[in-house]
Structure 1
Amino acid sequence: MSKPASTPSLSAGVSDSVDERKFVVALARGLDLLRAFRPGETLLGNRDFVERTGLPKATVNRLAYTLTVLGYLRFDDALGKYALDAGVLSLGFALLSGTDTLELARPHMRNFAREVGAAVSLGCRDGLDMIYLETIRSETALTLGLASGSKLSMLTSSMGRAYLAVQPHSTRAALLAQLQQAAGGEGPALVAQAQKEIDAYANEGCCYSFRDWHDDVNAVAVPFTDARDGRLLVLSCSGPASSMGESVFRETVAPRLKALARRLGDSP
C-alpha cells in the first residue's frame, strides 16, 4: 500500500522569507482548491475542500464559484460537486509544451526504460509534493501506473529526497519542518528516514527509496538543473522491489541514471 500523500494547505511550501506585502493570499487559497484534487479523483464537494485546505466553508464557496466562472472548475448540479475544467488542462499543456527539456529527454528516457526494464520519470516540485512531468515505462515494467500529473510524497519518494538534498540548508530545514507538520504523528519518523538519504547524497550523488514510498517499489533519483531556464528537475527510475532489489539499483541503475542526468542538464 502506498504511503499517504501530504494534504494541500494554504501556501504549502512557501518560504518564511516571502514578502507578505506582495503575496496575494486570496490567489493562494484559490490555487489550494485546485490542488485539493488527487490523481484518479474527478469530483469533490465543498466538504472535501474544507477538509483538505482547512479553509472556512464560506471562503470555499466563494473561491469555488469564482473558479467555476473562470473555467477552472465545473459544477455538477446533479451531484452537487465540482470537477476540474478545461482551464486547468490548458495551463498544464502550456507548461509541458513549453518545456524543451521534455522533448530532449523523451528519447533518452525511452531507451533507458527499455534497457533497464523499469519506469523512468522526470519531475519537479509542487508545493510539498513532487509531480511527474513525464513517465515512460518499458514493456516489461511492472511498476505502478503513475502518469504525468501524478504526485509523490517529498519525504518518502526518491525524487522528493533528491530535491531536498540540493536545497540550501535554510530552505531544506524550513521544508522539512513543514513536511513534518503536514505528516502528523508519522512526521518525525518520516523526516528522520528521509534525512538519512539526504545526508548520503554528498557521497552517492543520488537518493534512494527502498520500499519507503510503496511496499513493492524501489527507486533512485538524480537532480539536475535545466541549462535553458535554470529550473531544478529530478530524474528517477523505479521498479518492483520483488524483482529489482537494492543491489540492482545501487550497482546498475544509479550509475546509468546519473549519466543520463548529466546529458540532460547541469549539476545543481
Structure 2
Amino acid sequence: MTHTSTFSEPVDERKFVVALARGLDLLRAFKPGETMLGNRDFVARTGLPKATVNRLAYTLTVLGYLRLDESHGKYALDAGVLSLGFALLSGTDTLELARPHMRAFAREVGAAVSLGCRDGLDMIYLDTIRSETALTLGLASGSKLSMLTSSMGRAYLAVQPADARAALLAELRKAAGKVGATLVADAEKEIEAFATERCCYSFRAWHDDVNAVAVPFREPRDGRWLVLSCSGPASSMGEAVFRENVAPRLKALARRLGEPG
C-alpha cells in the first residue's frame, strides 16, 4: 500500500516503512489540549482500518508512547512522546538564543512573538513569548497553525524551492476541501509579495481578530528553516502597525538569529 507523504518529498518505497508511518499518524492525531482519544477517534482522523489501529495502539502502549486508561477505554500520550519533545527543544540552540530577544520584542511591541517550524501540513510553535501589558493570543508551545492561513505558514512556503512549494500547495488544497482553492489563492498572493516585502502577513485570515506577520530564517546549526512571527489583536493593532512598526523589527530579529529568507 502506498503511503502519502505529508512532507511533499519523493518517497522511495523500498526504504519507506509504512507501519512506522502509520504509528506516527496515530500520535499526530492528538490535537493541542486533548488528553485522550479512543480507537474510533484514531480511525476517523487517520483513515486507517480499526484492526490496524488496534495493533498500532497496542504497540505504542507497550513502547511507552501511549497509555491506556481502562476506565474510559481511551488512550493518552505517555512519557515516551514527552521525552522526544524535550529532546527536540533541548537540541535547538537557536531557541535558547532567541528567547531573551523574543522577550524584549514582545515587551517593546506589546504583542506575542513566536518561533516555529513545519510539522506536516501545519506549522508548530516551538515557543511563544507574550506581552505582559497587552491582550495577546494564548497559543503555547506545541500549538499548530494552518500553513495556508497563518503568516508563519505562508513565510515558510515562500522560501521553499518552486517545485516543492507547488507540491505542498497541491496537498494543502486537497486537504482543505471545498475552500482549498480560495485559501491557496490567498496564500499565493502573500507568497508572491514576499519577493519585495521579505515577510508574509495574515490579516484576519487565521482568526477574525488576529493580525500577524512572519519572517523565515535558516538555523545556523543545520540549515533548516525556522519562522519568527508576531501576532496581536486586529482590533487594536491594525495593518499599518504591522507593516510600519512590527515587520521591520521582526526582520531585524531574524537577522540576529540566522540567515533571512
Normalised to the residue count of structure 2, the TM-score between the two structures is 0.97
The corresponding residue for 1:100 is: 93
2:114 corresponding residue in structure 1: 121
- Which deviations, in whole Å up to 9, do the C-alpha atoms of 1:6-53 show, x marking residues without a partner? xxxx64523352212111111111001000000110010111111111
Matched with 2:45 is 52
Whichever residue aligns with residue 50 of structure 2, its letter is K
Matched residue, 2:196: 203
Deviations 1:44-94, CA, capped at 9 Å, x for gaps: 011111111111111111111100000000011011100000100000000
Quick check: 1:241 aligned with 2:234? yes
CA distance in 2, matches of 1:235, 1:115: 16
What's the C-alpha RMSD, in Å, of the aligned pairs? 1.0
Instruction: Report what 2:64 is aligned to.
Output: 71
> Which secondary structure state, in structure 2, belongs to the residue aligned with residue 58 of structure 1?
helix
Return the match for 2:184 from 174, 186, 191. Answer: 191
For 1:254, which of 230, 233, 247 is the aligned residue? 247
User: Which residue in 2 is equivalent to 1:6?
Assistant: none
Native 8 Å contact 1:75 1:81 kept in 2: yes
Query: Which residue matches 1:30?
Result: 23
Instruction: Give, as a single letter, the amino acid of the residue that structure 2 aligns with 1:128.
Output: L
Q: Taking structure 1 as the reference length, what is the TM-score of the superposition?
A: 0.95
User: Partners in 1 of 2:215 and 2:255 — Cα distance?
Assistant: 9
Q: Is the 8 A contact 2:5 2:11 kept in 1?
A: no
Q: Which residue of 2 aligns with 1:232?
A: 225
The one-letter amino acid of 1:200's match is: A
Identity %: 84
Asked if structure 1 preserves the Cα contact closer than 8 Å seen for 2:215 and 2:260, the reply is no
- Aligned length in residues: 259
Structure 2: 5+ residue stretches without partners: none
Question: Cα distance, 1:175 vs. partner?
Answer: 0.4
Q: Which has the higher contact order (CA 8 A, sep 6+)?
A: 1
C-alpha distance in structure 1 between counterparts of 2:198 and 2:19, whole Å? 40
Aligned-partner SS, 1:28: helix
1:135 alignment partner, one of 128, 138, 143: 128
Q: Which runs of 5+ in 1 are unaligned?
A: 1-9
AA aligned to 2:110 is: G
Residue 223 (str. 1) matches residue 216 (str. 2): yes
Q: 1:174 and 1:208 mapped to 2: Cα distance?
A: 22
Q: Find out whether 1:173 has 2:166 as its counterpart.
A: yes
